[in-house]
């Protein structure tokens, strides 16, 4: 059975995150394309002025280990973009998509 996992990333804060993101974004997007059927939602988390400062994804997977492996092999992470990555099981309740199993 597939479970939804929330992946919440916070960028490093040494001033290098924007350059890392810009340099690796094409590779990140190409890498994530192979998981398009499993990533239900994804995009950057923004700071107060609208600059990316992290990311959020909802990923369907068999287990947390497979999500951790997917994230670890992401070009963003191979380049050292994140200072912190949190991964938690997620239950979609509000405006739950019809294709998810009932609660």
Q: For the domain with range 3-90, which CATH number is right: 3.20.20.140, 3.30.565.10, 3.30.470.10, 3.30.70.1060?
A: 3.30.70.1060
Task: Give the predicted TM-score (pTM) of the model.
Answer: 0.92
- 12: phi > 0 → left, psi -120 to 50 → alpha, else beta; which? beta
pLDDT digits (tens, 9 = 90+) for 54-89: 999 999 999 999 999 999 999 999 999 999 999 999
Query: Is residue 64 within 8 Å of residue 5, measured between CB atoms?
Result: yes
Q: What does the pLDDT read at residue 45?
A: 97
């Amino acid at each position: 059975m597939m479970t939804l996992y929330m992946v919440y990333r916070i960028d490093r804060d040494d001033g290098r995150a924007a350059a890392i993101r810009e340099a690796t974004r094409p590779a990140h997007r190409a890498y994530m394309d192979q998981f398009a059927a499993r990533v239900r939602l994804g995009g950057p988390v923004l700071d107060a002025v609208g600059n990316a400062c992290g990311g959020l994804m909802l990923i369907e997977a068999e287990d947390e280990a497979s999500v951790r492996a997917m994230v670890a092999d992401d070009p963003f992470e191979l380049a050292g973009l994140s200072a912190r990555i949190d991964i938690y099981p997620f239950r979609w309740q509000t405006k739950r998509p019809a294709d998810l199993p009932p609660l």
